[in-house]
């Protein structure tokens, strides 16, 4: 199994293709995509965005219920972000952060540090999310080495969790089908159960998954463990929300055994959960935050590692150096985009908007549970998922063949054809994932509900008849 994208969508019916279609089919290699799916079907080519909507090359409008990929948080078509990028490109299009600084990177680092919780005051910019995770894992290893604990190289992450595709980040990723093609991976990756309590037996201790982290640390030997890396709400598998007290217990475990805690917030930061950072939502203090996506609302690629003063200190004195870098980390144009994006967040109180509409959005998802194949609906803020089941009473999931028929054979295309972009995913049990732009309101939530109900009802009828 692997993640799914809007494949098997619009069929070519007129016997001719646009030049864009011809070039796309001949030359463009899309990510996480079965390219053969478009041999006899159109590639979805999106050409314009406005607010919560995007338009394809034929002029058809779609509600972007995924914020492109959990990242266009401020919505599409924000001219002020584009203007800030253009002005910066005219002033200084690029200079590296390798031993040099420029005003926008300095200003953005200070602004991010001011928003980050606690003493997370050092900001190391990257090009995106995978690079942020990769950088954080390297930082943890070398931090321990500089403190005389060179044996700490192992990391602990959760099963089914996605932390990126670079070789180090892939070690943290807990999805077997994404790891297997590239093995052997970098050593040291270990995984523990996630917080999907929908699949837990009745009566299980709510902090069982947190305690499993300590069990793994003790089994591996605390002196060998570098870090624990977890998302505030786990994306892959379908928005696994932590149990009350989960994060506080994890923080306690990490402190007890001298292990650094990374809060991977590539998705969960910048308003997705109604706060600038997911750590604020659940009331814990990480040693490091990784972020990307919504930092610029994806108007330009950018990520960051935000480290505590304690983690940064060994690299700030004498000959100390974090021997790591990325050419485009802190890119001036991306930094300008991020600053303009954060201006919008403050001016329009996007975090407050999410909190004000959270119950409406999550309630809409819960309201779909009357459809027979909807087993669970869960999430936080503007981040939600629907888990699809074969039998709601027993929670029996679909077989691999049935999941293929359901997700790729029908749902992905039907949702898109009905004007809704979201994600049908089978990294774990089959789910539909949603994360609309933070500007979405009651009208957009109602539109999402209308399409989901229409398509999921038909999917349920199909699976029942089969």
Show the domain range for 382: 19-77+349-465
Indicate if 141 and 193 belong to the same structural domain.
Answer: yes
Task: Report if residue 295 sits inside a domain.
Answer: yes
Tell me if 164 sits within 8 A of 237, measured CB to CB. Answer: no
Q: How far apart are CA 389 and CA 150, in angstroms?
A: 46
pLDDT in tens, 367-392: 999 999 999 999 999 999 999 999 99
How large is the average pLDDT for residues 97-114? 97
Domain with residue 447: its CATH number is 3.90.1150.10
Q: How far apart are CA 333 and CA 105, in angstroms?
A: 9
Phi, psi angle pair for 129, to nearest 5°? -70, -50
pLDDT in tens, 426-439: 887 899 999 999 99
pLDDT in tens, 32-66: 988 988 988 899 999 999 999 999 999 999 999 99
Q: What is the pLDDT of residue 7?
A: 52
Indicate if 106 and 63 belong to the same structural domain.
Answer: no
Tell me if 8 sits within 8 A of 33, measured CB to CB. Answer: no
Q: How confident is the model at residue 466 (pLDDT cuts 50, 70, 90)?
A: low
Indicate if 155 and 218 belong to the same structural domain.
Answer: yes
Indicate if 255 and 237 belong to the same structural domain.
Answer: yes
Indicate if 263 and 358 belong to the same structural domain.
Answer: no
pLDDT in tens, 305-347: 999 999 999 999 999 899 999 999 999 999 999 999 999 999 9
Task: Report if residue 8 sits inside a domain.
Answer: no
Task: Report if residue 169 sits inside a domain.
Answer: yes
How large is the average pLDDT for residues 172-196? 96
Identify whether 117 is preceded by a cis peptide bond (ω within 30 of 0).
no
Q: Looking at the predicted structure, is the pLDDT value of residue 465 above 80? A: no
| Cβ neighbours for 47, distance < 8 A, ≥ 6 positions apart | 55, 56, 57
Cα–Cα distance list, 378 to 16, 235, 374 (Å): 43, 11, 11
Residue with more model confidence, 404 or 415: 415
Q: Token pair 């983690």 is at which residue? A: 311
Indicate if 72 and 85 belong to the same structural domain.
Answer: no
Q: What is the pLDDT of residue 16?
A: 60
Indicate if 317 and 439 belong to the same structural domain.
Answer: no
Indicate if 275 and 379 belong to the same structural domain.
Answer: no
Q: Among residues 348, 372, 400, which one ends one of the domains?
A: 348
What pTM value is reported for the model? 0.95
Query: What's the total number of domains in the chain?
Result: 2
């Amino acid at each position: 199994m692997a993640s799914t994208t809007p494949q098997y969508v619009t069929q070519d019916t007129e016997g001719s293709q646009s030049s864009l279609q011809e070039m796309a089919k001949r030359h463009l290699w899309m990510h996480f995509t079965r390219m053969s799916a478009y041999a006899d079907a159109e590639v979805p080519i999106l050409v314009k965005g406005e607010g919560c909507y995007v338009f394809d090359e034929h002029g058809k409008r779609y509600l972007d219920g995924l914020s492109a990929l959990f990242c266009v948080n401020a919505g599409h078509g924000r001219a002020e972000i584009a203007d800030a990028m253009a002005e910066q490109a005219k002033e200084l299009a690029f200079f590296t952060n390798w031993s040099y600084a420029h005003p926008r990177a300095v200003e953005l680092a200070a602004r991010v540090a001011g928003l980050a919780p606690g003493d997370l005051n050092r900001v190391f910019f990257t090009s995106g999310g995978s690079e942020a995770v990769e950088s954080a894992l390297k930082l943890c290893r070398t931090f321990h080495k500089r403190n005389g604990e060179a044996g700490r190289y192992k990391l602990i992450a959760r099963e089914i969790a996605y932390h990126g595709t670079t070789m180090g980040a892939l070690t943290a990723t807990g999805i077997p089908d994404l790891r297997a093609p590239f093995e052997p991976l970098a050593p040291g990756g270990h995984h523990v159960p996630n917080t999907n309590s929908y699949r837990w037996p009745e009566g299980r201790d709510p902090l069982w998954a947190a305690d499993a982290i300590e069990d793994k640390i003790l089994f591996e030997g605390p002196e060998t463990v570098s870090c624990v890396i977890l998302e505030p709400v786990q994306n892959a598998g379908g928005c696994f929300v932590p149990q009350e007290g989960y994060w506080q217990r994890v923080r306690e475990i990490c402190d007890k055994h001298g292990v650094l805690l990374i809060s991977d917030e590539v998705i969960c930061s910048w308003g997705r959960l109604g706060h600038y950072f997911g750590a604020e939502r659940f009331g814990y203090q990480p040693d490091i935050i990784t972020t990307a996506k919504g930092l610029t609302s994806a108007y330009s690629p950018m990520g960051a590692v935000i480290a505590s003063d304690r983690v940064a200190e060994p690299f700030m004195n004498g000959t100390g150096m974090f021997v790591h870098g990325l050419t485009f980390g802190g890119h001036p144009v991306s930094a300008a985009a991020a600053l303009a994006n954060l201006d919008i967040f403050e001016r329009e109180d996007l975090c407050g908007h999410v909190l004000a509409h959270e119950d409406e959005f999550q309630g809409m998802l819960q309201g779909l549970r009357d459809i027979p194949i909807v087993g669970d609906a869960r999430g936080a803020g503007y981040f939600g998922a629907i888990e699809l089941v074969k039998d709601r009473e027993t929670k029996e999931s679909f077989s691999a063949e049935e999941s293929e028929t359901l997700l790729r054979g029908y749902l992905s295309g039907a949702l898109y054809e009905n004007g809704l972009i979201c994600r049908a995913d089978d990294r774990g049990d089959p789910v539909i994932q949603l994360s609309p732009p933070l500007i979405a309101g009651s009208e957009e939530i109602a539109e999402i509900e209308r399409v989901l109900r229409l398509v999921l009802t038909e999917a349920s009828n199909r699976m029942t008849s089969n």
